[in-house]
Amino acid sequence: MFNIILFGPPGSGKGTQSEKLIAKYGFKHISTGDLLRSEIAGKTELGLKAKAFMDEGKLVPDEVVIGMVDNVIVNNPAVYGFLFDGFPRTKAQAEALDALLRKHEENINLMLALDVPEEELIVRMINRAKTSGRTDDADSEVQKRRIGVYKNETLAVASYYDQFGKVTTVNGLGSVDDIFSALSTEIDNHYS
């Protein structure tokens, strides 16, 4: 398997690029944000618990998201590879993911980190809110909190994978197709 993490702050384009990478390479997509939103839509107990954190722009507790990811990995033994999007978001999640993959004799091959300036993130979240209906994108306080959480808790994930030489940074500014082509080039370079 070839397993990658698409990393970046909220609004950096992870969801958009994930869709294109999945269509091109056949990865199994694991977006913890999407999984949580579908739990909320299904009004499950997990969804109800997660909603309060998400509405405030805070992270859902590690054990909740790790459990969801474990389920998807266990139920998809024969995929080309996993593309993790919005996960891991804390160092504890990164360590847990490594342990989950190790059980299947797998590991993370590559982290692609999208680099986008903060002002642009806000613009993109405001635009996305117009069509996605995501309340966490529409509220300016929540936008700021999510960027703060990214800096305080999530950036440590990049340092964690950097110590193993697994991180490649890609410019996340420009057209969707140009960014996609830069990401594809990195994947092709690493998967041979």
Q: Nearest to ligand AMP by Cβ — which residue? A: 33
Catalytic annotation present for 37: no
For position 65 contacting ligand AMP by CB under 6 A, the verdict is yes
Structure-block tokens of residue 130 = 């117009």
| Radius of gyration, alpha carbons of the chain | 16
Instruction: Tell me the closest approach of the beta carbon of residue 78 to ligand AMP, in angstroms.
Output: 25
Instruction: Tell me the closest approach of the beta carbon of residue 141 to ligand AMP, in angstroms.
Output: 13
Say which residue the tokens 């613009």 belong to.
Answer: 123
Backbone angles phi, psi at 16, to 5 degrees: -60, -50
Instruction: Tell me the closest approach of the beta carbon of residue 188 to ligand AMP, in angstroms.
Output: 26
Half-sphere exposure of 57 (CA within 13 A, CB side): 20
Catalytic annotation present for 14: yes
Measured from the CB atom, the residue of 60 and 167 that comes closer to ligand AMP is 60
Instruction: Tell me the closest approach of the beta carbon of residue 33 to ligand AMP, in angstroms.
Output: 2
Residues 6+ apart with CB under 8 A from 140: 122
Q: How far apart are CA 68 and CA 34, in angstroms?
A: 11
Catalytic annotation present for 145: yes
Is 2 in contact with 57 (CB distance < 8 Å)?
no
Name which of residues 10 to 29 contact ligand AMP (CB under 6 A): 10
Name which of residues 78 to 137 contact ligand AMP (CB under 6 A): 86-87, 89, 93, 136
User: How many other C-beta atoms can be found within 10 angstroms of the C-beta atom of residue 104?
Assistant: 11
Stretch that binds ligand AMP, among 52-60, 75-83, 106-114, 123-131 (CB under 6 A): 52-60
Structure-block tokens of residue 158 = 């990049």
For position 166 contacting ligand AMP by CB under 6 A, the verdict is no
Is 72 in contact with 79 (CB distance < 8 Å)?
no
Give catalytic residues, as residue numbers: 14, 89, 128, 134, 145
Q: State the residues that interact with ligand AMP by CB under 6 A.
A: 10, 32-33, 36, 53-54, 57-60, 65, 86-87, 89, 93, 136, 146
